[in-house]
Amino acid sequence: MTLPPLASLKTSMLLLLAAGLMAAAGIFWSHQQDTQARAALQAQQTALHAAHARQQQGRTEARLIAQHIDAYHALIARGFVGEENRLAWIEAVHLANRDARLYGLTYTLSPRAAAPATLVSGLPLKQTRMVVNMPLLVETDLPRFLDALHARTPGVFRVSRCRLARITDTPPQPVNHPELDAECELLWFTVAADGKEEK
């Protein structure tokens, strides 16, 4: 048996080796391209899902806004949303005192402050403390005043506390002369219209 001459096979072997190397390089390049394409597809699908989620959230928010816009405008008109309207509150307590046919009042208003965390629930809720002092003839004058205030209030408030005290130690007189002194602490609540906290 005669061996083929190596010199004549050398070129063929080199060509076969070059073809094998090129095939391996092609397979490696194809694998790299496939990996990059899969990563790009995954990124595009993630972005598409995020866009769908944002679109769905936008639709939900638009539906909620449409559903509650009238109630929001009612809160603005009532004075709960926006700047505090101290003048309207002062006028309301004076008119309630008049409506209850009482004997006048004095008041003090404190600066607006953040409401307690138990009331806030994520809102920039503020409260303004108003202390009202007024003379009363009988104890039932106080609920009449508070009912009159609730009937004509231009905002949202809560009675924090009330205290009754006798003005004098003398026995009650048979004339319409106030014998009691009432002190009530009212908390007026407001929320900023833009939802931002005040500095």
Q: Rounded distance, CA 54 to CA 46, Å?
A: 12
Q: What is the pLDDT of residue 135?
A: 94
**190, 83 Cβ separation under 8 angstroms:** yes
Q: What is the pLDDT of residue 194?
A: 63
Q: What is the pLDDT of residue 198?
A: 47
Q: What is the pLDDT of residue 108?
A: 96
- Phi/psi for 59 (5° steps) reads -65, -45
Q: What is the pLDDT of residue 175?
A: 66
**pTM of the predicted protein model:** 0.63
Residues of the chain with pLDDT under 70: 1-9, 120, 170-175, 194-199
113-114 vs 156-166, strand pairing mode: unpaired
Q: Report the Cα 3 to chain-centroid distance in Å.
A: 92
- Phi/psi for 69 (5° steps) reads -65, -40
Q: What is the pLDDT of residue 187?
A: 95
Cα-based distances in Å from 189 to 7, 58, 76, 125, 169: 101, 30, 12, 7, 38
Structural tokens at position 62: 């638009």
